[in-house]
């Protein structure tokens, strides 16, 4: 059923993606502030994204919905959706400066609606522009200053704006300023365009992102840490979910990063260091999952969960559930090995880590050079991992455990897309499995 997902390994039938556009250009003007890992080629990222779409469609028979394309198509067909899109664009625009110019601009907006392409209004949402008018003497001596205000440079990470539980869609509320407007777009998409109801819309002061949530059939895991806070978890625990148990996984600070200056971006979401490959196998970075504390909540029904008095680490928890664990190195984790997408039980689309590690190492060397105390140990371990993996010839997903546990892999090379800090799992919103 659309918007209701029971387990991460159920066959993927339908997903939503967003092909990055001009908003990525603005994000690349300042990668660090845009939450990107590093600079990369925008045209290369778009080609890789197109390749991913083809793989999902042709190799796995998945129905792929592109966010912008679908919104524009439906707005062109349905007057009510077009009106709602225009209304959102109007509310997004911010004017300042000469009063008469502001009045004229607003009037022109209304007159020009019928002439402008529907994509024009969606692009306003992407760029979030502010328009400033400075008027000098003379005919049309107007300085028109247009600035971007937190463009949606991360919208292509479609996992995070929402997540699908076994009872419906939970709309996220993003922790970082550069991402907070993304959920307005996806809420419009789910409710107005797709006609789907939300199970929950996360309320202030709660913050939570979709990369934190992984369903396992009878139970589910959700991360808590830099991107997800206790207020959001409390709201989640009031939902009438069908799962028997919810495990709240505390984001571990990386033991190789200086404790007085931690860097939560290295493992920002649960799916950046842990993921599900099949109904019996998970993949995780042992260094992190053995240090991630899990609070266990039992579902009593009617929106009531009770906390188990015992806490446990994620490694022990998942082993007790009967799962085998494929351990990945620190370097593989940083190269997005665990951020694969499970297409069906025992079949994953995963980053070709060997093709990605050199970019990760280059970036880490710069970080360590600028702050040795913070990143020196992490770099040393990553370099040691690189030598080990080269000698063993076992870069993920080409590890002996993958073959031993019967996991089929479809390796992909996406060095530009991963520069934004994510891979196949982060870039896809699974809409239907089963």
| pLDDT-based confidence at residue 139 (cuts at 50, 70, 90) | low
Count other C-beta atoms under 10 Å from residue 80's C-beta: 10
What's the confidence (pLDDT) of residue 140?
A: 67
8 A C-beta contact, residue 7 and residue 216: yes
pLDDT of residue 311: 87
Quote the pLDDT of residue 264.
94
Q: Which residues pair with 47 in a beta bridge?
A: none
CA proximity to 98, closest of 87, 86, 110, 106: 106
The token pair that represents 114 in the structure block: 């019928």
Count Cβ atoms below 10 Å from residue 82 Cβ, excluding itself.
Answer: 18
- Summarize pLDDT for 232-268 with one digit per residue, the tens: 999 999 999 999 999 999 999 999 999 889 999 999 9
CB 12 within 8 A of CB 62: yes
> Residue 355 CB: number of other CB atoms within 10 A?
16
First to last CA, the chain: 8
Q: Which pLDDT band, with edges at 50, 70 and 90, does 1 fall under?
A: confident
Exposure string of 318-352, with b = 16+ CB inside 10 Å and e = fewer, is beeeebebbebbbbbbbbbbbbbbbbebbbbbbbb
Residue % of the chain over a pLDDT of 70:
99
Spell out the residues 6+ positions from residue 352 whose beta carbon is closer than 8 angstroms to its own.
Answer: 395, 397, 411, 412, 413
Domains and CATH numbers, the chain: 12-68+152-433 (3.75.10.10), 71-148 (no CATH)
Chain segment 316-326, per-residue pLDDT in tens = 999 999 999 99
What are the tens digits of pLDDT across the range 30-67? Answer: 999 999 999 999 999 999 999 999 999 999 999 999 99
CA distance 178 to 176: 6
Give pLDDT tens digits for 172-203.
999 999 999 999 999 999 999 999 999 999 99
Write the pLDDT tens digit of every residue in 282-309. Answer: 999 999 999 999 999 999 999 999 999 9
**What pTM did the predictor assign?**
0.95
Measure the CA angle with vertex 245, ends 182 and 317; round to 5°. Answer: 95
Q: What confidence tens digit (pLDDT) does each residue in 151-178 have?
A: 999 999 999 999 999 999 999 999 999 9
129, exposed or middle or buried, with CB in 10 Å at 0-12, 13-18, 19+? middle
Categorise residue 3: left if φ over 0, alpha if ψ from -120 to 50, beta otherwise: left
Distance between CA atoms of residues 350 and 412, nearest Å: 6
Distance CA 272, CA 25 (A): 24
pLDDT tens readout for residues 340-372: 999 999 999 999 999 999 999 999 999 999 999
Token duo for residue 397: 């997903």
């Amino acid at each position: 059923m659309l918007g209701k997902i029971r387990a991460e390994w159920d066959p993927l039938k339908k997903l939503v993606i967003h092909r990055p556009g001009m908003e990525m250009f603005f994000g690349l003007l300042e990668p660090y502030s845009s939450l990107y890992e590093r600079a990369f080629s925008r045209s290369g990222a778009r080609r890789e994204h197109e390749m991913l779409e083809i793989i999902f469609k042709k190799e796995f028979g998945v129905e792929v919905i592109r966010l912008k394309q679908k919104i524009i198509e439906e707005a062109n067909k349905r007057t009510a959706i077009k009106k709602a899109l225009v209304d959102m664009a109007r509310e997004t625009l911010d004017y300042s400066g000469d009063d008469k110019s502001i009045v004229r601009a607003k009037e022109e907006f209304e007159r020009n609606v019928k002439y402008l392409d529907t994509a024009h209004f969606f692009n306003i949402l992407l760029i979030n522009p502010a328009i400033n008018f400075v008027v000098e003497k003379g005919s049309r001596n107007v300085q028109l200053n247009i600035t971007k205000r937190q463009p949606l440079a991360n919208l292509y990470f479609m996992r995070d704006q929402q997540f699908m539980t076994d009872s419906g869609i939970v709309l996220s509320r993003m922790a970082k300023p550069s991402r907070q407007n993304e959920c307005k777009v996806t809420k419009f998409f789910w409710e107005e365009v797709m006609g789907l109801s939300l199970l929950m819309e996360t309320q202030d002061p709660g913050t939570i992102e979709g990369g934190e949530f992984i369903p396992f059939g009878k139970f589910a895991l959700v991360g808590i840490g830099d991107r997800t806070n206790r207020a959001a978890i409390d709201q989640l625990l009031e939902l009438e979910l069908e799962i028997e148990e919810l495990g709240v996984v505390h984001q571990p600070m990386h033991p190789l990063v200086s404790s007085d200056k931690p860097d939560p971006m290295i493992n920002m979401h649960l799916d950046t260091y842990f993921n599900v490959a099949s109904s019996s196998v998970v993949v995780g970075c042992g260094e992190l999952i053995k240090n991630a504390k899990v609070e266990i909540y039992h579902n009593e029904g009617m929106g009531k969960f009770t906390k188990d008095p015992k806490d446990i680490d994620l490694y022990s928890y998942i082993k007790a559930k009967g799962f085998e664990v494929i351990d990945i190195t620190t370097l593989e984790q940083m190269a997005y090995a665990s951020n694969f997408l499970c297409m069906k039980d025992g079949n994953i689309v995963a980053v070709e880590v060997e093709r990605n590690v050199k970019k990760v190492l280059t970036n880490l060397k710069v970080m360590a050079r600028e702050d040795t105390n913070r990143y020196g140990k992490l770099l040393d371990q990553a370099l040691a991992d690189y030598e080990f993996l080269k000698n063993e010839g076992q870069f993920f997903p080409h590890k002996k455990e993958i073959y031993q546990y019967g996991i089929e892999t479809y390796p992909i090379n996406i060095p530009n897309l991963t520069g934004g800090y994510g891979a196949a799992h982060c870039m896809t919103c699974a809409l239907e499995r089963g």
